[in-house]
Amino acid sequence: MLVDAIRAEGFRLSKNRNALFWSLVFVPVISVAIGALTNFVLKGSSTKLLVNGKAPDQVKLMLAGGPLDLGQALVDAAGNFANPLVLLFVLIGAATIYAGDYRWETWRLISARNSRSNLLLAKLAVVAGMALAAMALMLVAGLAENLIKAGVFERRLTFSMTGEMAGRFLAFTGLSWLRILQFTMMGLLAAVVTRSLLAALFIPLVFGVGQFFTTPIGMQMGIMPDAWLAVLVNPGAAADAVKAMIEGGPGAAALPDGLILKAWLSLALWTFAPLAAALAWFPRQDLSKE
Amino acid sequence: MSTVIETRGLTKTYGAVRALDGLDLSIPRGGVYGVLGPNGAGKSTLFRILLGLIRASDGSAMVMGGGVGDVSAMRRMGSMIETPRFPPFMTARQVLRWLALEHGVGAEVDIPAWLERVGLTEAADRKVKGFSVGMLQRLGVAAALMSKPELVILDEPTSGMDPPGIQEMRALIRSLADDDGVTVVLASHQLLEVQRVCDRVAIMHKGRLVREGAVSELTASGERLRLSVNPLDQVAAILGARGARDGAAILADVPRAEAPALIKALVEAGIEIDEARWVGADLESVFMTETGHQETPHAG
C-alpha cells in the first residue's frame, strides 16, 4: 500500500514539469553558467590581476595553472550540497508535493483507499528521492564547472580518491541529505497544518534565516554556543559542527567536548519532530475543506 | 438482505449546527440507491463521513462490512464527491494512470477503454485544466469506476452535463448495476433522473431520514384522484383533510376502492363532475411533501 502511494506520487511528480525544472534543473544549470562566466571573466582579467598583485590567493592559485583534482572537487561539492540556493529550489518542489493535494483539492480522490500515514510517508519518500536527484545533478554540475575551469585556465585534470576521501564524500553527502530533508520536513508540517503551499515553502525558509540570529541572541543572553539549549535550537550550527568533525584537522580538534553528541541530537530532533507532528495531525484532519 | 452501508445514530455537528442528526440508514447490496434531500439535508456530510474525509461526532457507520477507515473495505469502493478536481498539469490519461497506481490497480486498468466509456477519448491527451465541469465529472466517474469497485458513491454525477451527457451517464449507471453487479449510491437534485435510474431512495431532511423505500412504492403511495368539479368549495368541504386544491381542480387522497362511492356521493350532492382521473405521484411531489416544501393534502 505504501509502495502504491510512492509509485503514484512519483508518477505525478514526473508529470509536473514546472516542479521538476525548478527543483532539479535550474540550480545546476545556473551554477554551471555562472561558474563558466566567472572563469571567462577571470581569464580575461588575469594579466591585470597578476600584475597588480591584488588577486586573492584562491584566484592566484587558479591562474597559476596547477593541476585540478576532480576527486577533491567532488568531496568539496558534497560538503556544499545543502547550500541555501539548493535548499530554496528543492523546497519549491517539496512544497508542491506536500501541499499539492490541498491546492488541487485532490485529497478526496486518494484518501479513502489508502491510510493517511501511507499517503504522507509516500510524499516524504518522493521528496527524499528528489533531494538525492538534486544532489546528483549538483555533482554533475560541479564536474562540468571544473571541466570548463580546466579548459579555460589550461589546467591539467587529475583524479584522486583515497579511502579517507571517499568516506568524507559519503559522510558529507549523508549530512547534506539530512539537512535538506530537515527543511523539507518542516515544509511537510507547515503544509499539513496550514494547507498552504506558500506556508510549506516560506516557513522553512524563515526558519533557516532565523538560525543565523539564534547564536548571537543566545550569547547576548549569556548562553554559550556549545550549551545544550544553543545547539538544540540551532540545527544549522549543529550541522556545521558535524561537518567540521567530518573534515577533521584542526577544526575538528577545536570542537568542545560533547558538542558532537548535542549536534546529532539537534539534527535528529529537527528532522523527526516535524515528521512525527505531521503524522499525528494528518489522520485527524478534516479533508472535506481543502 | 445484505447491506453495503449501515449507519446507526450517525451524528455530525459543526458548532451549533447538526448536519447529521442520529441518522439510521441501511443501504442494501445491489441496484441503484438514491440519497435525496434539499441543500443542507446532510447528504454530502454523510458521504464525507463514509469516505473518511471527516469524522462523525457520534454514532457509527459501516461500509462494505468494515468500519470507516478500514482500508481493505474502502478499497472495494469507488467514489466521486462533488465536482472532482485534478492536478491541472496532467492529461486525462495521466490522471487515470496516476489514480490507478494510487489505488493499487495500475497494471490491471484498461485506461483507453474507460476514457471511451465516459466519452473522453478525444480529450484523452488534453490537460485537465482546460476541461469543462461536465468533462471533469466524466473523468471523475471513470476514476471512481476503473478499479472495479463493488460499491460506488457518486455525488451529483450529472452536474454540469448537457442532456446527451446526462442520458449517457444514466445508461452507464444502470449498466453498472444491471450488468456489472455494482451497488451505486448517488445523490442528485435532479429528481426526474433519480426516479428514472434509482431502484430505492432515501429522503433526508435536516440531517435525518424522513422516508425510505423502493421508488415504485413511494410513487404509488401518492396516487390521487384529480376531480374537475363545480362548485369546488363544496367538494373541498366534503373531502375535508383528504382534499387538496390543484388549480381549478381538487386532488382527492382516496384509495381506488373508495373512488366509485365518492363519485356517487358527489353526484347525489348535485356536484357537476367534468373530469375524474387518477394522477400518480412523482418522486418530486413525494420529495416536496416529505421535506416540507409542499402542503400536505387538506381541504382548501
Are B274 and B163 found together in one domain?
A: no
Interface test with B, best of A97, A113, A284 (most B CBs within 10 A): A113
At residue B59, the pLDDT reads 95
Cβ pairs bridging A and B (under 8 Å): 82
* Average pLDDT value for chain A: 88
How far is it, in rounded angstroms, from Cα A16 to Cα A153? Answer: 39
Q: How crowded is residue B166: how many other Cβ atoms within 10 Å of its Cβ? A: 19
Nearest to B101 among A7, A107, A286 (CB): A7
Nearest to A104 among B52, B85, B97 (CB): B85
How are beta strands B183-187 and B32-36 bridged, if at all? parallel
- If you ran DSSP here, which 8-state letter would residue A267 be given? H
Residue-wise pLDDT for B144-177, tens only, equals 999 889 999 999 888 878 888 888 888 889 999 9
Q: How crowded is residue B49: how many other Cβ atoms within 10 Å of its Cβ? A: 26
Q: Are A5 and A122 in contact (CB under 8 A)?
A: yes
| Alpha carbon of A290: minimum distance to chain B alpha carbons (Å) | 10
Q: Is residue B285 part of a domain?
A: no
Q: Which residue has the higher pLDDT, A23 or B188?
A: A23
- Judged against a pLDDT cut of 50, whether residue B295 lies above it is answered with no
Are B269 and B167 found together in one domain?
A: no
Residue found by looking up cell 368539479 in the block = B229
Q: Is residue B290 part of a domain?
A: no
Are B111 and B253 found together in one domain?
A: no
Are B140 and B204 found together in one domain?
A: yes
| Alpha carbon of A188: minimum distance to chain B alpha carbons (Å) | 19
Nearest to B75 among A7, A18, A113 (CB): A113
A241 three-state secondary structure? helix
At residue B267, the pLDDT reads 92
- The highest-confidence range among A283-287, B89-93, B200-204, by mean pLDDT, is B89-93
Question: Which chain A residue lies closest to B93 (C-alpha atoms)?
Answer: A15
Query: Rounded to the nearest 10 degrees, what angle do helices A235-247 and A70-79 cross at?
Result: 160
Kindly state the helix (H) or strand (E) to which residue A202 belongs, with its residue range.
helix A197-220
Which chain A residues have a beta carbon less than 8 Å from that of B53?
A: 107-108, 111-112, 286-288
Are B51 and B88 found together in one domain?
A: yes
- Judged against a pLDDT cut of 80, whether residue A10 lies above it is answered with yes
Which chain B residues have a beta carbon less than 8 Å from that of A108?
A: 51, 53, 79, 81, 84
Which chain B residues have a beta carbon less than 8 Å from that of A15?
A: 87, 89-90, 94, 98
At residue B294, the pLDDT reads 55
Q: Which residue has the higher pLDDT, A33 or A257?
A: A33
| Alpha carbon of A202: minimum distance to chain B alpha carbons (Å) | 22
What is the share, in percent, of chain A residues with pLDDT greater than 70? 94
Interface test with A, best of B63, B75, B101 (most A CBs within 10 A): B101
Partner B contacted by A104 (CB < 8 A): yes
Q: Is residue B297 part of a domain?
A: no
Where does the pLDDT of residue B287 fall: very low under 50, low under 70, confident under 90, or very high at 90 and above? confident
How are beta strands B3-14 and B58-63 bridged, if at all? antiparallel
Interface test with A, best of B102, B129, B139 (most A CBs within 10 A): B102
Q: Report the CATH number that the domain containing residue B268 is assigned in CATH.
A: 3.30.70
Which chain A residues have a beta carbon less than 8 Å from that of B77?
A: 112-113
How far is it, in rounded angstroms, from Cα B81 to Cα A289? Answer: 12
Q: Is residue B117 part of a domain?
A: yes
Q: Is residue B295 part of a domain?
A: no
At residue B164, the pLDDT reads 86
**Total of domains in chain B:** 2
Max alpha carbon distance in chain B (Å)? 77
Residue found by looking up cell 570548463 in the block = A148
Start-to-end C-alpha separation, chain A: 23
**CA dihedral sign of residues A152, A155, A156, A157:** negative
* Beta-carbon separation of B103 and A113 below 8 A: yes
Kindly state the helix (H) or strand (E) to which residue A94 belongs, with its residue range.
helix A84-103
* Beta-carbon separation of A15 and B48 below 8 A: no
Nearest to B52 among A4, A104, A112 (CB): A112
Q: What is the mean pLDDT of residues A85-107?
A: 93
* Average pLDDT value for chain B: 88
Are B157 and B131 found together in one domain?
A: yes
Are B150 and B179 found together in one domain?
A: yes
Q: Is residue B137 part of a domain?
A: yes
Instruction: Identify the CA nearest to B182 among candidates B191, B172, B190.
Output: B172
pTM of this structure: 0.84
State which amino acid sits at residue A67.
Answer: P
Nearest to B51 among A1, A4, A108 (CB): A108
Are B124 and B273 found together in one domain?
A: no
Are B124 and B254 found together in one domain?
A: no
At residue A82, the pLDDT reads 86
- Judged against a pLDDT cut of 50, whether residue A282 lies above it is answered with yes
Q: Is residue B296 part of a domain?
A: no
Are B231 and B191 found together in one domain?
A: no
At residue B1, the pLDDT reads 63
Are B141 and B209 found together in one domain?
A: yes
* Beta-carbon separation of B101 and A11 below 8 A: yes
Q: Are A114 and B102 in contact (CB under 8 A)?
A: yes
Which chain A residues have a beta carbon less than 8 Å from that of B104?
A: 1, 4, 113
Residue found by looking up cell 490491471 in the block = B108
Are B73 and B170 found together in one domain?
A: yes
At residue A153, the pLDDT reads 82
Q: Is residue B75 part of a domain?
A: yes
Where does the pLDDT of residue A113 fall: very low under 50, low under 70, confident under 90, or very high at 90 and above? confident
Which chain B residues have a beta carbon less than 8 Å from that of A98?
A: none
- Domain encompassing residue B83: 3-214
Q: What is the mean pLDDT of residues B107-115?
A: 90
* Beta-carbon separation of B55 and A107 below 8 A: no
How many residues are listed for chain A in this entry? Answer: 290
At residue A219, the pLDDT reads 75
Residue-wise pLDDT for B17-58, tens only, equals 999 999 999 999 999 999 998 888 899 899 999 999 999 999
How far is it, in rounded angstroms, from Cα B111 to Cα B251? Answer: 53
Q: Report the CATH number that the domain containing residue B181 is assigned in CATH.
A: 3.40.50.300
Where does the pLDDT of residue B299 fall: very low under 50, low under 70, confident under 90, or very high at 90 and above? very low
- Judged against a pLDDT cut of 90, whether residue A265 lies above it is answered with yes
Of B190, B214, B238, at which residue does a domain stop?
A: B214
